[in-house]
Amino acid sequence: MRFIVQKFGGTSVSTQERRNMVVNKIETAKGKDYFPVVVVSAIGRNGDPYATDTLINLAKSVGVEPNLRELDLLMSCGEIISCVVLANTLKKRGHECKVFTGGQAGIITDDNYGDAEVIRVEPKNILECVEKNIIPIIAGFQGVTEDGNITTLGRGGSDVSAAIIGEAINAEVVEIYTDVDGVMTADPAIVRDAKVMETVFYNEIFQMAEYGAKVIHPRAVEIAMRSNIPLMIKSTLSEKNGTLITNYDKSRRYRHDKEDKLITAIAQIGNRSQFKVIFDGSADQYEKDTILFNLIAAERISIDMINIYPDIKVFIVDGTNESKLKNILKSQGYNFEVISNCTKVTIIGNKMRGMPGVMAKMIEALSDNNIEILQTSDSHTTISCLIKSENTNVAVNALHKKFELGTNK
């Protein structure tokens, strides 16, 4: 049996017209001799009647915060509603199907409500459906604990559901359907000539997600990579090929020649705050690297772009933690400076590894547009620059043009 897992996001099932398009995609898979296993997200987005955020706001509207167990129970409802409505659409077109919650589909998790980890998958119910030629329709974003409590897998968790089910049934491919045509070279809301990429490596997608691109849940990529299952990012609304996420594919491989691009994509993440902690004796015995960073870690504040010098420590934090960290540092007497409203802009590409001149080219693109670089960091496949958020759009467009990501060259 050739399995394909097809995951449809909330916008894909938000109207009857779009649900009919979803059924077309399922029928296309069957026409290619795949047996489709379908995973569905909650209908729509915040404000829509059955969207997850709408349900959360409804629970909070009485003025009491629901506990995490009950909140997960509530949040699981949106996907179940989507599944039942889509199942009826399939039945109307003559297809037998059966709806499962994540737990009924065999997704067993720990009890970390709101961001549960999958322990194992027991796909018995899925496989029994397949034997009877019944299409399983599975509620994404959720699982169940060993003792029967419903859990959710965190934001974007339906991607994780699709990947983990694909792994459990040894699917040939996992298709992630959304409202865009594939993975873009940059945010199309910022760069008008951003292009859909034909093929992207797993580790590049990891980097894109980490550095701010809203592509696919990183855990879904991790699962697919360890199982060597190709992922396809496609649009429900078109018949375009989409983006293949894989290690290597003969039919859609990177060309290792002079026309191949050095940089794959550009990502950005805003609302960063840069801290410079100055060791000038103000904090006395607290002016030790281990004390400073353990103090920050104890407050569960994540730091990034870390540069350590004998008398200055520089790093960034999520802007939502700025006030909290200021208070912590003040309480211990540290002398520090803060630059708020920053953006971390990152260029990503496997082929920059060991290639001289990439940083120079990036700096040149920003300098030509009078954009001050506040800080840099890099790895083998990424280079990041911290800039003021007011310059984000100009910076991303300048880098996209500099590295010729909008051209076919």
**What is the CATH classification number for the domain harbouring 90?**
3.40.1160.10
Residue 276 shares a structural domain with residue 169: no
Does 35 belong to an annotated binding site?
A: no
The predicted-structure confidence for 371-391, as pLDDT tens digits, reads as follows: 999 999 998 889 999 999 999
Residue 270 covered by a domain: yes
pLDDT of residue 162: 97
Residue 32 shares a structural domain with residue 154: yes
Residue 272 covered by a domain: yes
Closest alpha carbon to 96 in 83, 86, 87, 106: 87
Q: The domain spanning residue 279 has which CATH number?
A: 3.30.2130.10
Does 8 belong to an annotated binding site?
A: yes
pLDDT of residue 57: 87
Q: Domain total for the chain?
A: 2
Residue 16 shares a structural domain with residue 138: yes
Question: Residue 392: which domain range?
Answer: 265-402
pLDDT in tens, the chain (409 residues): 899 999 999 889 989 999 999 999 999 999 999 999 999 999 866 667 777 788 888 888 888 888 999 999 999 999 999 999 999 999 999 999 999 999 999 999 999 999 999 999 999 999 999 999 999 999 999 999 999 999 999 888 999 999 999 999 999 999 999 888 999 999 989 999 999 998 888 888 888 888 888 778 888 999 999 999 999 999 999 989 999 998 865 444 444 434 467 899 999 999 999 999 999 999 998 999 999 999 999 999 999 999 999 999 999 999 999 999 999 999 999 999 999 999 999 999 888 887 889 999 999 999 999 999 999 999 888 999 999 999 999 999 999 999 999 865 4
Q: Is 252 helix (H, G, I), strand (E, B) or coil?
A: helix
Closest alpha carbon to 36 in 11, 2, 81, 83: 2
C-alpha distance from residue 369 to each of 90, 270, 294, 358, 383 (Å): 53, 19, 39, 17, 18
The predicted-structure confidence for 152-170, as pLDDT tens digits, reads as follows: 998 889 999 999 999 999 9
Does 178 belong to an annotated binding site?
A: yes
Q: Would you give the DSSP letter of residue 369?
A: T
Helix axis angle, 77-92 relative to 52-60, nearest 10°? Answer: 140
Residue 269 shares a structural domain with residue 382: yes
Contact 191, 399 (CB under 8 A): no
pLDDT of residue 256: 42
Residue 48 shares a structural domain with residue 167: yes
Neighbours of 341 (CB within 10 A): 14
Does 7 belong to an annotated binding site?
A: yes
pLDDT of residue 46: 67
Does 10 belong to an annotated binding site?
A: yes
Using a CB cutoff of 8 Å and minimum separation of 24, what contacts does 199-203 make?
A: 199/243, 199/244, 199/245, 199/246, 199/249, 199/252, 199/253, 199/254, 200/243, 200/244, 200/245, 200/264, 200/265, 201/245, 201/246, 201/247, 201/350, 202/245, 202/246, 202/247, 203/350, 203/381
Residue 258 covered by a domain: no
Task: Enumerate residues 6+ apart whose C-beta is below 8 A from 14.
Answer: 43, 44, 48
Residue 24 shares a structural domain with residue 170: yes
Residue 22 shares a structural domain with residue 165: yes
Cα–Cα dist 113/72, whole Å: 6
Does 404 belong to an annotated binding site?
A: no
Residue 208 covered by a domain: no
| Domain stop point among 136, 161, 179 | 179
Does 79 belong to an annotated binding site?
A: yes
Computed from CA positions of residues 212, 214, 215, 217, in that sequence, does the dihedral angle turn out positive or negative? positive
Task: Tell me the DSSP string of 162-180.
Answer: HHHHHHHTT-SEEEEEESS
- Residue 9, amino acid: G
Residue 10 shares a structural domain with residue 137: yes
pLDDT of residue 270: 95
- At CA 54, angle to CA 50 and CA 55, rounded to 5? 75
Closest alpha carbon to 331 in 371, 298, 379: 298
Does 52 belong to an annotated binding site?
A: yes
Cα–Cα dist 316/275, whole Å: 6
Residue 20 shares a structural domain with residue 162: yes
Task: Enumerate residues 6+ apart whose C-beta is below 8 A from 45.
Answer: 10, 11, 51, 53
- Residue 20, amino acid: N
Residue 248 covered by a domain: no
Residue 83 covered by a domain: yes
Residue 185 covered by a domain: no
Cα–Cα dist 171/231, whole Å: 11
Residue 65 covered by a domain: yes
Residue 172 shares a structural domain with residue 271: no
| Domain stop point among 130, 151, 179 | 179
pLDDT of residue 223: 93
Does 28 belong to an annotated binding site?
A: no
Read off the pTM: 0.83
Residue 24 shares a structural domain with residue 120: yes
Cα–Cα dist 174/164, whole Å: 10
Residue 123 shares a structural domain with residue 16: yes
Neighbours of 298 (CB within 10 A): 9
Does 110 belong to an annotated binding site?
A: no
| Domain stop point among 161, 179, 197 | 179
pLDDT of residue 407: 63
Contact 230, 218 (CB under 8 A): no
